[in-house]
Chains A and B, each alone.
Chain A
Amino acid sequence: MPSKEIESAKSDQLTDLASLVQHGENIEAVACAEKLLDNSCPVEDIISALSEGLAILRNKCTVENFQLLDVLLASRAMVEVVDECISRKLQMDMDQIADAFERTNSGAPVKTLVIGTIQGDVHDLGKHIVATLCRFNSVKVINLGKDVPVDTFVNTAIRENADYIGVSSLMTVCLAKIKDIKPELIRRGYGYIKVVGGGSAVQQSSMESLNLDFVAHDAFDGLDYICKRQNP
């Protein structure tokens, strides 16, 4: 095949990949990515196709009508492409992949996010989505899981030199604990670390009463805040 044709076949496949991710077709997406890698397509191109798929999806979501299942399925497809295809085939480890993401996403400096669900609360689905989305937008994510005490948030953020703490709560009774995170950071001299809250209980309250720097109304809202802000 003349090289021009190969190129256009490749770009067709990249468009396919974006659309497969958008529609959450995990198995087909992995197969498609494998084919692209076999045709020695650069990892960066594949990654930007993945992000494109997610970007299309985000336009379909509104705060009032977040398409949870679609987003979940799309992120599952992305995770599988990265974990089962890219990292296995090219023997890349997590750091190398993060670098690749960074190169693809216009070289913005990598930020670090420590994320978890506040102590007493085990709802982690929403937070999990935020973590995945961040991961695909050149954010280094340290996921502390659920039922996380304030001290763990603060210690980890300091140790990892984090830029953000993301805290989730769906339980109104657990809201009170969130209030302690920022003052504790300030007390220990790390007041510049931004604390971002999300989850349906947090959304009912306010930045002021929870001592937060930002309240995200959905996962994309939080992602925007984290990605668009200038580094301190």
Chain B
Amino acid sequence: MNSTERIRSVVHFQRTDRPALVPEIIAVAATMAGETVRDYVTSGQLIAQCQINARDTIGSDALFAISDLCVEAEALGCDLAYPEMNYPYVVKTLIKKPEDLRKIKIPDPDRDGRMPELLRAVRLLKDETKGATPVIANAIGPITLASRIMDIEQMLYMIVDEPEKFGEVMEFCLSVVTKFAVALVNAGADGIIMFDPTASPSVLPAKIFNRFEVEPIRSVFAAVKSARQDIFTWYSVAGPVQTNLDILTAVGADITTVDYLVPIETAIQHSVYTVINGNIKPNLFLEGSECEILEESKALLAAARNTERFILGSGCEIPLNSNPENIIAMRKAVEEEMETFEYINRCEGHGNEVTILPHRKKVYVQAGTTVLDAAKTAGITITTYCNLTGSCGECVVCVDNYEMDDPDKIEEIQLRNRGGYPGERLACQARVSDGMEVYVPHSSRMYPAGQCDISAALYHRSINDKISRFGFSPGILSKPLELSEMPPPNSLKKWLLEKVEGYQTGTAALDKLLSLSQESGERVFMVMDTSKKEIIDFSRSDKIYGVAIDIGATTISAYIHDLQTGDLKHAASIQNPKVTEDFGELARDSKQLALLQKRFFDGINNLILWFHNNHSMVSDQVYSLVITTDRLTAPALGIHRNSAPGSVWSTTTAQSMPRGVRLAASSSCRINTPHRNSSFPGGSAMAGVIGSGLFDGEMIDVFVNVGDRGEVFVGNRERILYVPTIGGTVFESLRISKDSVFQGGLIQNIAISPDGSLTIETLGGTAPFGMCGSSIVSVLAQLYSNGIIDRQGSFIYSKNQLQLSNGVFTLAPKQKTAMYRPITVTSADIEQALRAKAAYRAAVSVLMDKLGAKPKDIGSICVSGGFGILIDMDAARRIDMIPDYDTAKYSFVRAASSVGGRMALLSSAARDEMDRVAAILEKIDLARDNGYAQLLQKLQPIP
């Protein structure tokens, strides 16, 4: 492998012949070659020369065509000082007030400042290496540019005092950066690294980063990728990134550099789609010894042994005047790593033998590897949906009779909630054992388009099963059409409509057919909407896809299905933009509303385009979308049309998007959203009802929807009553870590031993990060059964309880958390949670009374959470959040609304079922119900 191949492999998460090594060697290349920094930063020729020299000395896998971080500012007209042996810096800023922006022009990369020199450096390096070593150029972060052209303190005040005006500054900086970045790509750069020191959490709070910097960065990266597809993007941010881990995933770079303040394990664990590069204390290169750097590097390589997503690097620029031997020590570490037992094992397979069924692929992996990674090594990708934290249950596999470590609590709950079939394990949690065989069921596999394995479809009983309950009739069909039979254009329509009787078609589709027929090829495919009886499009490919999107209060999730086979291709989720931004009084402000709509669809597009970029699917082949969301969000999306009488479904197409919004799908894509008048509980809740699989018999079923609006549904085939409760909002507001909706480190359960010591379990087993609303259920049950709270939820103080003081119970002291902030439960939290559980419980009772139902009439009780919410049903019964009847069947469905949405996407019968349920649904108003209020009071204590 040459360096370019090596880096590309890493970027595609594939194995390399040796660990990749890229320390950030910028102007230290000059001091190594005995040149002055001033000469280096002003000459493209010298940059190229020094970089080649440095690469040959160090053996690094990349070349940096980079001088310093003031190039853009200078090209805009800032005066720089050029010390001989230090980086240049801005001596006079350009902007005092936003109006000053009008006086400056976006620079021309071929003419202004030192931009031409940098383009030259790229070209020279490209010529010299002939593609064997990647050439990386720099585009600084837009907010970093802003902090160069204006004083940083003044900039921070402007962000707070005049955010709109700051938005203008950012727009300008974004144009400057984008233009230069694209020029660098066109000059031949293989990668664009974005240094963005000002975006560091040590300067910018997460909220501001998310609001002002995320989108501009994504937009620069998108621009360079569209300038050249195979370019790789790289983001380098300084500071304690663990305080805003979203940085690692939000900007969507191929590679992310973190500095020494972030433990490398944390960075790897909390990123999924990006390669991590780092990280050694910069000062060690100056004051430290070769030996220290060797040891540090070796430790980093060892920590990253189980991932392909790692490039050894410095994490920060290597300081000027560093001793070259200190940098060479990094390469020595790479060589030593290749000699180590583990690395040999990992590469050549003397490790544990694992056989993946049904394909009988054998792989050798190191002990301690997860089953998921072992399968991946065999080329079999398992569906994952929760950052491998054990909370989505998508990755379930079957193992028989092999000695493995027992599942931990989280896995156990997850498996139990799935039905507890013997032999099932979560691939992301279970570790391999030597000689084992793993069966990867069809439903847990992620198929590259066109590779679906039908024989495995026999392996049923999982979620796909449930989804196919209504049969497969997605309403979109693709059929071949032989072009050789095609008549002249004027009789085309007639001919076509004779061929497919009873169908209609529009001019747009006919035009498409005509233009396709001009190209070579014998056959095209027509895409038909079978419910509206319309030919909606023509395509070269027979592929048709649909996406079920659920916009939850905190997360937007998307499931993409092949509409020919029904197979799940992929699932992913992002944070709902509403979470980080304060959109205030939505409906009243049309500008805000337009912005929110754009954000929503940007989010949806991101998800679709991610599939598009990574999985050989084309976004134009998306022909059907089902969007479920809550009652208030649905109309705010701006795509709502009046639905047919008797139906909850509002149907529109991708052509009628709100102004300024484009959907990354075929323009004839059908969009279905359930929505109706104010007594309707909302699409997500309805989808949840369908997804729960309840209410189709005589027995009375109970469905509790934790999340969204906390609805409780009670009823049977004939009649269903429902109430929204305060439970939803309370659980939402109990989300003790606001920064992150869902990731490893969320506390799931606690255990308290008699001596008062406390152990906590987190998603993914990483250092605790925060707590989500649903884990309070388990925590309450534990606190109560250990005598830390009484029935009313008041703390009982005792000498034993060191964690308890002044109404605050500390689950984790700050030294033990990932955020370095303590995680606590206060008496107010407990009171809120008790109120919420009483609300659910009282609602069930009142609705049962209204139906005249008795415990013996109960069939099933099902609880569902939003995405990633995991509720321990036993704990929920213990604290009386749901009634404890021995006649009832209890189940927990994760993300029931997504399940229902997918059903609706794949089956018109499921859509009809929703209409049926909506027709027998009655909303009960408990606001003025005295009995309910009293019951709430009564049920608040723990029984």
Contacts and interface: CB of A to CB of B under 8 A. Distances in A.
Given A172-B319, A173-B86, A204-B282, A69 B821 contact: no
A24 to B, nearest CB: 7
A69 B281 contact: no
Nearest to B152: A125
B530 interface: no
Contact of A68 (B157, B160, B203): B203
B379 interface: no
Nearest to B37: A173
Interface string B309-334: 00000000001110000000000000
A65 interface: yes
B98 interface: no
Contacts of B321: 173
Interface in A108-163: 120, 122, 125, 128
A70 B156 CA distance: 10
Interface string A152-183: 00000000000000000001110100000000
Contact of A204 (B86, B157, B281): B281
Interface residues of B, number: 32
A64 B208 contact: no
Contact of B156 (A64, A72, A200): A72
B941 interface: no
B202 A172 contact: no
Nearest to A200: B202
B313 to A, nearest CB: 17
Contacts of B242: 64
Most buried by A among B201, B202, B203: B202
Given A172-B286, A175-B286, A205-B283, A120 B86 contact: yes
Nearest to A173: B320
Interface in A32-83: 62-70, 72-73, 76
Given A120-B83, A172-B319, A204-B282, A65 B160 contact: no
A163 to B, nearest CB: 28
A62 B821 contact: yes
Nearest to B321: A173
Contacts of A223: none
A42 B901 CA distance: 66
Query: What class of interface size applies to chain A in its complex with B?
Result: 20 to 34
A67 B205 contact: yes
Contacts of B240: 64-65
B203 A72 contact: no
Nearest to B286: A172
B819 interface: yes
Contact of B157 (A65, A70, A76, A205): A76
A125 B204 CA distance: 13
B469 interface: no
B885 interface: no
Contacts of A205: 283, 287
Contacts of B287: 205, 209
Given A69-B204, A72-B153, A172-B282, A64 B243 contact: yes
A100 interface: no
A201 interface: yes
B165 interface: no
Interface of A: 24, 62-70, 72-73, 76, 120, 122, 125, 128, 171-173, 175, 200-201, 204-205, 209
Given A65-B819, A68-B203, A209-B287, 11 more contacts: A63-B820, A64-B261, A65-B243, A72-B157, A73-B160, A125-B153, A172-B283, A172-B319, A173-B86, A173-B320, A200-B202
26 contacts: A62-B814, A62-B821, A64-B242, A65-B240, A65-B819, A65-B820, A66-B202, A68-B203, A69-B208, A72-B157, A76-B157, A120-B83, A122-B89, A125-B152, A171-B86, A172-B282, A172-B283, A172-B319, A173-B85, A173-B319, A173-B321, A175-B286, A200-B202, A204-B282, A205-B283, A209-B287
